[in-house]
Amino acid sequence: MSRPRTLLLTIDAFGTIFHPRHPIPDQYASAAQAFNLPRSTITPARLQSAFKSVYKAQSRLRPNYGRADVLRGQYGGPRQWWAEVIRGSFERVLAEASPTKRGEVHIPDGLVQSLLDRFASREGYALYEDAGVFF
């Protein structure tokens, strides 16, 4: 009896085929500096902690990048999902640094868009050297 032919192979490309060019919290902090957010407040360590918390909350609120709501026409999908994670991460860092101004925190739309664009391109990621043979 012959073996069935493999018809589909799936992999998680992140960390397998490509990786961040620089640590993600460093890239977030660098982008924030371009928008004049306070360097002393927006640090990679604070961003990493905030990102982890916001990412987990967003994953619980809208699992699978909000797919169920997207299918019902009630949500914008992965780009909106990631925009909310980015904005929430910065809001959390700024609010924790200045709790009395919690409702006054403003994250520039341009910052969110620049990070979305960076991580949707080769600017944010690089292929591992041996990934080329995979293709």
Q: Which domains does the chain have, with CATH numbers?
A: 18-134 (1.10.150.720)
pLDDT of 71-90, one tens digit each?
999 999 999 999 999 999 99
Say which residue, 86 or 3, is predicted with more confidence.
86
Instruction: Report the alpha-carbon distance of residue 76 to residue 29 in Å, rounded.
Output: 26
Q: Please answer whether residues 97 and 41 qualify as being in contact, where contact means their C-beta atoms are separated by less than 8 angstroms.
A: yes
Q: What is the pTM of this model?
A: 0.87
126 pLDDT higher than 90 = yes
Q: Where are the alpha helices (DSSP H) in 6-120?
A: 24-34, 44-61, 63-71, 78-97, 109-118
